[in-house]
């Protein structure tokens, strides 16, 4: 009975993940996602991600590491969180032993994140297709029951926030995904806050609602 219940639970979780992926694709297709620009704590973002993925990593006896070289940035932390959550979960799914490492650093004053695993790796031929919808690598089909939408969603979200994603991988040696955002980083929260306020003031000057009508529809 416990084995049967376990299989049912696993099937329900898989179905939920599939529905969530399809809904996210639908939202992206309907352009209902909108990117925002605000000051956020990279430390809080990393802590939240670690809290979510740590049980999954522990279940597979994998070491999960977060390395932070920056404290704060300006951008859409919610969309960035979705991107990184997909990448980290993928890394855990396809890694049977070793570790998954997530690094946050500044490159040319912009936030860059790398997700590195010691998993099975991806062949050169498959690397050109992994961001396609419903594409799944033949070698790893048995390891995950997904629809092959995770990396497609990641790619779309990266475009939405103006980030670039790249991959470096070798078969049986692991994979590294790099997300190069345009999110500004600074040495201190005060400096970032000042820059964020200035950007908002500049935006307010450009956009005026004078003479226009505001409709609130509930």
DSSP 18-39: HHHHHHHHHHHHTT------EE
Residue 31 is predicted with a pLDDT of: 60
Name beta bridge partners: 175.
Answer: 117, 169
> Structure tokens of 34?
């909108």
For the chain, 218 residues long, give each residue's pLDDT as a single digit of tens.
888 887 787 677 767 766 665 666 666 666 666 778 889 999 999 998 998 888 889 989 999 999 999 999 999 888 898 899 889 988 998 899 999 999 999 999 999 999 999 998 888 877 777 777 655 555 555 555 554 567 888 888 888 889 999 999 988 889 999 999 999 996 555 555 555 555 555 554 556 677 788 888 87
Contact indicator for 192, 184 with CB cutoff of 8 Å: yes
CA–CA gap between residue 118 and residue 42 (Å, rounded)? 24
Residue 130 is predicted with a pLDDT of: 79
Q: Which of 134, 125, 116 is nearest to 64 (CA)?
A: 116
- Helix (H) or strand (E) holding 3, with range, is helix 2-29
CA–CA gap between residue 49 and residue 44 (Å, rounded)? 9
Distances in Å between the Cα of 185 and the Cα atoms of 103, 162, 166, 189 are 15, 15, 21, 9
CA–CA gap between residue 199 and residue 214 (Å, rounded)? 24
> Structure tokens of 44?
């809080």
């Amino acid at each position: 009975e416990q084995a049967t219940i376990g299989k049912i639970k696993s099937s329900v979780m898989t179905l939920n993940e599939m529905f969530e992926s399809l809904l996210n694709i639908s939202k992206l297709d309907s352009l209902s996602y909108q990117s925002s620009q605000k000051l956020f704590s990279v430390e809080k973002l990393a802590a939240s991600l670690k809290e979510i993925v740590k049980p999954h990593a522990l279940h597979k006896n994998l070491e999960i590491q977060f390395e932070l070289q920056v404290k704060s940035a300006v951008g859409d932390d919610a969309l960035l969180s979705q991107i990184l959550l997909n990448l980290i979960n993928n890394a855990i799914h396809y890694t049977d032993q070793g570790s998954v490492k997530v690094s946050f650093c500044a490159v040319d004053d912009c936030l860059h994140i790398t997700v590195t695993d010691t998993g099975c790796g991806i062949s050169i031929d498959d690397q050109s297709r992994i961001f396609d919808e419903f594409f799944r690598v033949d070698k790893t089909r048995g390891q995950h029951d997904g629809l092959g939408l995770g990396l497609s969603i990641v790619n779309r979200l990266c475009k939405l926030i103006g980030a670039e994603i790249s991959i470096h991988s070798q078969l049986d040696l692991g994979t590294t995904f790099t997300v190069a955002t345009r999110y500004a980083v600074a040495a201190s929260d005060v400096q970032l806050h000042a820059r964020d306020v200035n950007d908002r003031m500049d935006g307010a000057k450009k956009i005026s609602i004078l003479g226009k009508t505001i409709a609130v529809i509930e």
